[in-house]
Amino acid sequence: MKRVINYIFVFVSLSFMSCNEDNEVFQVERPSGLSVTVDVVGKTTEMPNGDGSGIVIIEATATGVVKYDFYINDTKRASTLDGKYTHTFEAIGINQNDIRVEAVSVSGGISESTRNISILREDDTTDGELIISGPLPGQVLVWSDEFDSGSLDSSNWVFETGDLGVNNELQRYTDRSDNLVVEDGLLKITAKAEQLDGNAYTSARIKTQGKREFRFGTMEARIKLALGQGTWPAFWMLGANIDEVGWPVCGEIDIMEYVGRNPIRTYSNVFFPGNTGADNTTSRSLDVDGLDEGFHVFRAEWDTNKIVFKVDGVEYNTFTITDGLPFRDDFFFILNVAMGGDFGGAVSADFTEATMEVDYVRVYQ
């Protein structure tokens, strides 16, 4: 009996050791050395809660990280690869807010850090007509279309027509005056509910490909958005080599995207191989009171190292350019109003038409 007990003891001991070894093999490792800084824009001794913009710049670093998740008051707002995120608080007055950063390892381990900040957001008096635009220090205007000629300038723009078969969109693009006119100093692109060659909606899309292409600078447009559930207006850029290398190798810069189902929110993105669709970690949004009223300035400040996206002078998205990405090459502009699709969503049953008005497009270098 004693020998049997000894055998049982040895077996149990070996089994326990085996479990320990398995646990060590599959142990989830957490990122180490997580460091988080939160910069409240405009914070000084005299203004300890910031300059009233409500903007904070968050930067995190750690070892053994595959991504960083950013939570504002327990709501996830962004995931980034570089540990950088800029957030704008909208609540008016001085408010306390929790900012939590989670660094995630390849095995799923999480290290986190939370900061509580006090930040001032002043009432936004912008009525859509107050604009913040123009060159950065050292830049000059190198090209613009002010849309003052009474017709579309063919030295700048070409139409894209037909059903382009992208994003499950519902419109057919035309070059008709029903869908695009230049009048009263404005470019007007109108999406309409009408049947044409199998599509339930018509609209227009123009581009500067082969005519006006740019590398670096401040890209800016003053736009009044097309409203209504299902609309998807955009001001964006594609790599000039798209016909040779295709998308997304050519790269894409979305300076402004808007969907009518959320009337006060605008988006900016970049796309490149490994960062498309569901795996896009660069998309950012900004809620702007009055975005659905009047004109607003949408711009991208682009240099060899980064692209900074702004609306009415408010910075809300910064993308860092690294070696091997396509954002150190020439790009061209696109202006369009899509309907429905993967991002535009369902179109309201009572939709008839909606117009995007563009005051100008300018490039400073």
pLDDT of residue 123: 57
**How far apart, in whole angstroms, are the C-alpha atoms of residue 72 and residue 90?**
12
pLDDT of residue 15: 43
**How far apart, in whole angstroms, are the C-alpha atoms of residue 112 and residue 340?**
38
pLDDT of residue 26: 59
Q: What is the pTM assigned to this prediction?
A: 0.66
pLDDT of residue 170: 97
On the 0-12 / 13-18 / 19+ scale of CB atoms within 10 A, 195 is: exposed
Domains (range + CATH), the chain: 32-121 (2.60.40.10), 141-364 (2.60.120.200)
Strands 199-203 and 171-173, sheet pairing: parallel
DSSP 142-202: EEEE---SSS--TTT-EE--B----TTB-EEE--STTTEEEETTEEEEEEEEEEETTEEEE
Please choose, from the candidates 38, 37, 36, 33, the residue with its C-alpha nearest in 3D space to the C-alpha of residue 105. 33
Using alpha carbons, list the distances in angstroms from residue 249 to 6, 46, 283, 329: 67, 48, 18, 12
pLDDT of residue 217: 97
Using alpha carbons, list the distances in angstroms from residue 220 to 98, 145, 160, 271, 298: 34, 11, 22, 19, 6
pLDDT of residue 17: 44
Model confidence pLDDT, tens digit, residues 319-328: 999 999 999 9
One-letter amino acid at 126 equals: T
Paired tokens of 221 = 């447009």
**How far apart, in whole angstroms, are the C-alpha atoms of residue 43 and residue 45?**
7
Using alpha carbons, list the distances in angstroms from residue 90 to 121, 128, 178, 264, 323: 7, 17, 39, 12, 35
Low-confidence ranges of the chain (pLDDT < 70): 1-26, 123-131
pLDDT of residue 22: 46
Peptide bond just before 48 cis, omega within 30 deg: no
pLDDT of residue 21: 45
Residues identified as active-site:
252, 257
